[in-house]
Amino acid sequence: MAKGVLVDITKCIGCKACQVSCKQWNDLPAKIPEFVDGLTGPPDMDGDTYTVVKFKVVEMAGEYKIRSAKKQCMHCQHPACVSACFAKALEKDPKTGAVIYHPHLCVGCRYCMLACPFDIPKYEWEKTFPLIAKCQFCFDPQDKYDRLSYGKPPACVDTCITGALVYGERDELLKEAWNRINSDPSYIKKVLGEKEAGGTSWLYISDVPFEDFGFRPNLGTRPLPEYSHDFLKYTPIIAVGWGTLLTVLYHYTKRREQVASESDNKDVHL
Amino acid sequence: MSADKGLFQEIAAYKWKFTMTTARKILILLAGLGVVCMLYRLATGLGSATNLNDQWPWGLWIGFDVLTGVALAGGGYGTAIIVHVLHRNKYLAIARSAMLTSLLGYLLVMAGLFMDIGQWFNFWRPFVSWGHTSVLFEVFWCVSCYTTVQVLEFGEIVTEKVGTKYHNFFKKALPVLMVLGIIFPTLHQSSLGALYVIMVDKLYPLWWSPYIGLMFLMSSFFVGPAMICVETALAGKAFKHEVPISVLRGLVRIAGVFMILYLGLKFYDLAARGVVNLIFAGNLEGNMFMAEIILGVMIPVYIAFSSMSNTRKGLITFGILVSGGLIFNRMNVVFTGMSAALGGWYFPSIMEWAVSIGLISIGCLVYCFIAENFNILVHEDHQGAST
């Protein structure tokens, strides 16, 4: 069954241990610290950073409170990036649900970066032969960075001390999410990732608006690959139909020309 | 082997011409600069040569060199339909130059794409690893196949002068090549637009549309005659080759009809999605959209069907407005329409400009060289009249 992670924003204390463990597990180099919005650092995911904890100061009933949310690849159930890759360098693993990257197949066109509704894939801009960088859900068919196949949770979840991150079966996590929402009125009545773009493996619940952490509000529930399919499905019909029509027109108009210029007895040249 | 030797001797013996002018010297300088920047980019990577970043993964090279370049080269397949499939022989005079421009355009697009992909040694990957759910997959295959078809079509022209014994073979293959050379562009001109259907919550609603593929296809078709107007005006001066006004006017009117259909589709689609009001929102997107439609489509339609298209001035104005409008449209899709969703900042670096300008300069130089050595502007019928 497809795995998932439930992120409870109300339980996150912003310690960033998940960020550190991600870098350690995946051998990602550290950088000189750089902060935005107070404590968010680095400002966003990048070529060396698969996950970032985003901070936001929010006003609640006259009090200022800090809220933080870990962001990384959502591991969509119908990933736009996988459908957008024209070299099959991105793949959704059917068993775990992880969306993983095969660097040797990548051409470096960066269409996945534009197709992703959550702006997740990043690029190693400073390298001569750059690759895409994104969270692999600690799943690795090559084994080196694998945790999921060994029955272990992703490194970030394993290191979370407050229970803000919970790893498990997606179906069960979804039930748990609604249980928490229904038993505590301070939660927003929505599980982000339940239906967005066809649903995601990572699910978020929160007591502050999700837009505070950069989730765009207008993303529909329709899986994004369907939009491309609605276009591409006409390709064979157009190729065959248009080709036939052109061939017929070619012979018809050529014959018409010949008949018209028969008195001239001159051939129609191309 | 001996046959090949004969071919090489023929190539060596042929009297190649290339006249040096000041304009050409400047073009050679720009081309050289472009080549240096391209080598630098290939050696050091995208980060140091371009201003592309994680928020703006596609920039000038994709937006201008590829998306706009392919559309502007659309004159080739448009002419192929009109002249070689519908046999409207009146337009034969412009067929070869339009199709040569198209061939060169596509070669430059391929060069631009090669510059833009990060793992350029891996460019062949989609030929064997089929990501068939991607619209880009269709673009990749069709552009590759079409460029090959165009090179073969050009073989018919080359073998008139060099390698003459292969001429009959190319001549016989031409009808098949023409039909293939229309199917492929039909597919990829539309799929270039359809690349954006997946960005449904990113591209501004004035440009995002379920019909964006069809809109890209239509605009690539009607920009063909506009480009021919501009091109014949330029080539007419340089090579003293005048295309009769009636020929150009006929083409411009064909374009005009498709522009009216295009407008109809645009407004039907905007109305169907209930976003017509966004045109008059007074924001950047609304104003840019309005400018694009009025300057690039509405005014040219008026020119096409008024007496203005009876004059060379009117035809050139039409050509510049429509070509400019198409460039404007593609830029709006790639930049204006995406800026709100992507945020951040992007402006092409000096090297990005140098590569784009360098590629265009190379195209102009090759065009001049070919036009001087092969029958491009003077068709068989008028041979001996000049040159």
C-beta atoms of B89 and A107 within 8 A: no
Residues 6+ apart with CB under 8 A from A16: A53
Looking at the structure, do residues A165 and A203 belong to the same domain, yes or no? yes
**B residues 99-138 near A, CB within 8 Å?**
116-123, 125-126, 129-138
pLDDT in tens, B113-170: 999 999 999 999 999 999 999 999 999 999 999 999 999 999 988 888 888 888 998 9
Does residue A37 lie within any of the structural domains?
A: yes
Which of A22-31, A226-235, B89-98, B272-281 is predicted with the least confidence, judged by mean pLDDT?
Answer: B89-98
* Number of domain units in chain A: 2
B380 versus A265: the higher-pLDDT residue is A265
Q: What is the pLDDT of residues A111-156, one digit of tens each?
A: 999 999 999 999 999 999 999 999 999 999 999 999 999 999 999 9
In a domain, A48, yes or no: yes
The full set of domain ranges for chain B reads 52-346
Instruction: Based on the fold, state whether residues A157 and A186 are members of the same structural domain.
Output: yes
- Determine, for residues A111 and B129 on separate chains, whether the beta-carbon distance falls below 8 Å: no
Residues A178-195: tens digit of each pLDDT:
999 999 999 999 999 999
CA distance A54 to chain B (A): 17
The closest CB to that of A86, out of B140, B187, B190, belongs to B140
| Rounded-to-integer distance, Cα B118 and Cα B113, Å | 10
pLDDT of residue B18: 84
Give the chain B residue nearest A119 (alpha carbons): B55
Nearest residue of chain B to residue A256 (CA atoms)? B87
Q: Residue B82 carries which side chain, given as an amino acid letter?
A: I
Beta bridge partners, A97, equal none
Is the domain of A64 the same as that of A185? yes
pLDDT per residue over B272-301, tens digit each?
999 999 999 999 999 999 999 999 999 999
Q: Is A135 annotated as a binding residue?
A: yes
Q: ipTM score of the complex?
A: 0.91
Global pTM reads 0.92
Question: A73 with A147, same domain?
Answer: yes
Nearest to A87 among B118, B126, B138 (CB): B126
> A15: annotated binding-site residue?
yes
Q: Is residue A60 part of a domain?
A: yes
Same domain, A184 and A259: no
Name the residue range of residue A194's domain: 3-77+135-222
Per CATH, the homologous superfamily of domain B52-346 is Formate dehydrogenase/DMSO reductase domain (1.20.1630.10)
Residue A171 lies in a domain: yes
Between positions 166 and 205 of B, the ones with CB within 8 A of A are 171, 174-175, 178-180, 182-183, 186-187, 190-191, 194-195, 197-202
Cβ distance of B54 and A113 shorter than 8 Å: yes
Chain A residues in contact with B140 (beta carbon < 8 A) = 86
Q: Indicate whether A246 belongs to any domain.
A: yes
Mutate which of A114, A132, A244 to disrupt the B interface (most B C-beta within 10 Å)? A114
What is the Cα–Cα distance from A225 to A223, expressed in whole angstroms? 6
- What's the CATH code of the domain at A39? 3.30.70.20
Q: Is A117 among the domain residues?
A: no
- Do A31 and A141 fall into the same domain? yes
Q: Which of A36, A78, A107 to mutate to test the interface with B (most CBs of B within 10 A)?
A: A107
Q: Mean pLDDT score of chain B, rounded to an integer? A: 91
pLDDT of residue A261: 78
- Residues A241-256 have a mean pLDDT of 92
Same domain, residue pair A218 and A243: no
Q: Which residues of A touch B55 (CB under 8 A)?
A: 119
